[in-house]
Structure 1
Amino acid sequence: MEPVTIAILFGCFLVLLFLGVPICFAIGLATLLSAITMLPFETSLIMIAQRLCSGLKSFSLLAIPFFILAGVLMNQGGIARRLINFSQVLVGTLPGSLAHVNIMANMLFGSISGSGAASAAAVGSIINPVQRKAGYNPEFSAAVNAASCPVGLLIPPSNVMIIYALTSGSVSIAALFMAGYLPGILMGLCLMGVTAWIAADRNYPTTERPSFQVVIRSFLDALPCLSLIIVVMGGILSGLFTATEASAFAVAYSFILAVFIYKEVSIKQLPSIVLESVVTTSIVLLLIAVSVSMSWVLTAADLPNLISDQLHRLSDNPILIILAINLLLLLIGTFMDMTPAVLVFTPIFLPIATELGMSPLHFGIMMIFNLCIGLITPPVGNALFVGCSVGKVDIHQVIRPMLPFYAILFLLLMVIAFVPQISLLLPQLFGLN
């Protein structure tokens, strides 16, 4: 019966996705239909309802709506413009300076907002018109913006890291946060390397070296934004507050920054900001609830053991098994968003990885990095679509300029997968691993 259950689950899910059904409803309906093959209809409804509730019964999940609200406040509080100005001071003299500014701003803004799509929209909408005036190819500009917008998801605070920590059950949020820094910075540097190579080949201009006064002014203007990351991580690492408490502090900090310091958000705008964050939170939490139900069906159908057996039949070589897991995750990322992918496939692949001697912390960073590539890969790469929309180009025009970025990201993924210390060094230094 298990093969039938699995076939119905994934078959219904893919058909519903193809028909344009929202992913959370596609997961929920496919889960219900597959559960009926194992249990009576009434029992299936009861079990799935219980899993929906239990999937959200975690205090740590409170961090997600708080970080989302903080991100919306920062997004509308003029943060992107200040970070772009600061990034221009840091990397503005490199070949293709505006493209490097785009990458650096996405790294900074993405880490604050916690959303790749929001980063692509906020940063791209400001810098893409400037790049057009400077003679940059629009397709190249859109590709740079799309390729770099997921970098911030590896640089904490990151909602997807919280979700992985809760799903794995064996990794602390603080350790995962620290583990993401080096891979995230390496990802940004590799993208900048490819950008520099292309920019030098096309003779894209650099900007003039800013004066010392401009450097200081840009730094001081962006310092309150950057301080949020320092305060949140410092508070978590020092034990001053938990990740959930840190998220509430981030909301208070963002509110003061946007309303009273930068004064770009008025009190009248707060209801719409709260409403936007509530809508986003509802979508994320519904995805979590239905994905936990799908994970239960997959476990009941014995899919983790089935995949493990198939991978071991493929090869006994750990390197080939880890490579196969990454290829499967890359495929999954092309049609499934990060949140449900982490929730559904962590229980499947994590036991296989730990059996091979991989740390759950290392596996989490590898998985998140892998799925970041999925955000910019068609057909369901939402960050790619946002980047194209902001850049005012069609998606088919961007695929070719994206190829060098896909290549470097895949190579870096392999390095992260097979060099554990890139992920584990900082947690070990801070005694978190």
Structure 2
Amino acid sequence: MIDPILASAILVGVFVALLALGTPIGLCIVLSSTCTIMLVLPFNIAMFTTAQKMFASLDSFSLLAVPFFVLSGVIMNNGGIATRLVNFAKLFTGRLPGSLSYTNIMGNMLFGAVSGSAIAASTSIGGVLVPMSAREGYNRSFASAVNIASAPTGMLIPPTTAFILYALASGGASIAALFAAGLVAGVLWGVGCMLITYYMVKRYGYTNFFNLRKGMALQVTKDAIPSLLLIVIIVGGIVAGIFTAIEASAIAVVYTAYLTLSLYKTLTLHDLPKLLLQTFVMSAVIMFLLATSSAMSFSMAITGIPETLSGMLLGISKSKWVILLVVTIFLLVIGCFMDIGPAILIFTPILLPIMQQIGVDPVHFGVLLVYNLAIGTITPPVGSGLYVGASVGQVKVEEVLKPLMPFYAGIIAVLLLITYVPDVILFLPRMLGVM
């Protein structure tokens, strides 16, 4: 039997070396996995087994949900939904001091939910509100920080592909339960950002108010409700058992196409080839990562890495809470260097058995995993959300980091709350009877 420590060293070493050379992450995963499998099996059998595991991992009917949800998100991103949701958010935040900051947070929560993308929310909502905030006298770095900090809420508020990937990688966690628990976590993230904004607005002395013209509230609500209904239809339908996640993804495509092509008329049939091409590319990347991560899972299983890691973690402490803290710190670090999709696919098979061994519910861990990795999208050195948000705000990254610090503190505080008081997020799926 090969030494698991040696196998871990080769797996991680080859992966990091290839990544440092600029190799695409999917190739890093499959090549490092193959090298690790070759410690146990001959070269020809290792190559055959790797290919077999990759193809077998894609032979799943559940995977149909991925391209459909991706397509619905692409349609929403290109369909002019952002302005309607911003106007709707103003109804609730327009009378608050520093209202544009609150509007940005709420707009990101709403648009991120319907699009499922933190980058899309940061670009679409921030692209409207950050320049507007600057014109109203807001510090541009602060306005950009508000946009960056709140953009990842859409990765938690359903529908989101992150929880679908986790459900697949975990081998059967309830998507309905993940969506319900993720909804609570995403809202808490947004509320945390609003509380920090309240403190920051008082500190900066922003007192300007933002009001819609008299009589516009009804029209703004009418414009926004069809978009917001997507969340209700998808989440409500899955939770109520009216349709499965796969059927919900197809319904999401039909509904978003109806909104943008027929109701709002912001897209035409001539736009569809471009949208389908974007969907094809994004879905292909996800599928390839899913296939390669299955090869990595097999390489770890055949060399005994998960058992060794489990023994090491359990050797640190027998306390569930200490192990949760160690895993949380580990995931925060991983999120700083790796995109959320590959990280979910790679670390779910490793960490979930350990979490179950210490009594953590798979739905609870799924939300913690996505929450931790979502933080990584707005943290240096690799956080794509941080760089995109700074670009949208037309500020340098180093300029936005200082006003971001209080938001990091608020987001981490929410993370500790949902980590150590799981009922905060699990009460909703339990109340709905989906777990």
TM range (shorter): over 0.9
Paired letter, 1:321: I
2:59 counterpart letter in structure 1: K
* 8 A contact 2:340–2:373 mirrored in 1: yes
C-alpha separation between the residues in 2 aligned to 1:170 and 1:305?
Answer: 21
Partner residue, 1:117: 119
CA–CA separation in structure 2 for the residues paired with 1:384 and 1:300? 38
2:418 to 404, 408, 416: 416
2:209 to 207, 210, 217: 207
The percentage of aligned residue pairs carrying the same residue is 43
CA contact (8 A) 1:5 1:38 kept: no
Match of 1:6 in 2: 8
Q: What amino acid is the match of 1:47?
A: T
| Equivalent position amino acid for 1:386 in 2 | V
Q: Please, which moves more after superposition, 40-49 or 230-239?
A: 230-239
Alignment of 1:77-96 (within 5 A): 77-96=79-98
Q: Given residue 195 of structure 1, which amino acid in structure 2 is its aligned partner?
A: T
> What is the SS of the residue equivalent to 1:300?
helix
Q: 1:108 matched to which residue of 2? A: 110
Q: 4+ residue stretches of structure 1 with deviation over 4 A?
A: none
Task: Report the counterpart of residue 259 of structure 2 in structure 1.
Answer: 257
Task: Name the amino acid aligned to 1:171.
Answer: A
Question: 2:21: which partner in 1?
Answer: 19
Q: Give the residue type in structure 1 aligned to 2:68.
A: F
Do the aligned residues in 2 keep the contact of 1:3 with 1:301 (CA within 8 Å)? no
Residue of structure 2 in register with 1:431 after alignment:
433
- Report the CA distance between 1:25 and its aligned residue: 2.0
Quote the Cα distance in structure 2 between the aligned partners of 1:336 and 1:208. 39
**Alignment partners' CA distance in 1, 2:96 and 2:22:** 43
Scaled by the length of structure 2, the TM-score of the pair is 0.96
In 2, Cα distance between equivalents of 1:145 and 1:21: 31
Aligned position for 1:331: 333
Q: Confirm whether residue 182 of structure 1 aligns to residue 180 of structure 2.
A: no
1:390-423: per-residue Cα shift (whole Å, max 9, x none)?
1122222222221111111111111101111112
Q: Matched residue of 1:29: which SS?
A: helix
Determine the structure 2 residue equivalent to 1:268: 270
Which range is displaced more, 106-115 or 163-172?
163-172
Q: What is the root-mean-square deviation in Å for CA atoms of aligned residues?
A: 1.4
Match of 1:173 in 2: 175
Note the alpha carbon deviations across 1:82-139, whole angstroms, 9 max, x for none.
Answer: 1111111211222221111111111011111111111111111222211111122222
Is the CA contact 1:154–1:180 (under 8 Å) kept in the aligned structure 2?
yes
User: What is the one-letter code of the residue matched to 1:15?
Assistant: A
Q: Report the Cα distance in structure 1 between the residues aligned to 2:92 and 2:397, rounded to whole angstroms.
A: 30
Determine if contact 2:90/2:211 at 8 Å carries over to the other structure. no
Determine if contact 1:86/1:218 at 8 Å carries over to the other structure: yes
Matched position secondary structure for 2:410? helix
How far did residue 48 of structure 1 move?
1.0
Answering whether residue 62 of structure 2 is matched by residue 60 of structure 1, we say yes
Match of 1:334, SS state, is: helix
Residues 7, 305 of structure 2: 8 Å contact kept = no
* 5+ long unaligned stretches in structure 1: none
Identify the match of residue 309 of structure 2 among 302, 307, 310: 307
* 1:11-410 pair list within 5 angstroms: 11-210=13-212, 213-410=215-412
| Corresponding residue pairs, total | 433
> Are the aligned partners of 1:353 and 1:363 in contact in 2 as well (CA < 8 Å)?
yes
Residues 170 and 360, structure 1, Cα contact 8 Å, conserved in 2: no
Q: Distance in 1 between matches of 2:79 and 2:365?
A: 35
Deviations 1:291-338 (A, max 9, x none): 121122122222211111111221112111111111111111111111
Counterpart Cα distance in 2 of 1:236 and 1:91: 31
- Secondary structure (helix, strand or coil) at the match of 2:215 reads helix
TM-fit CA distance, 1:213: 1.8
TM-score by length of 1: 0.97
Q: How far did 1:351 drift?
A: 1.3
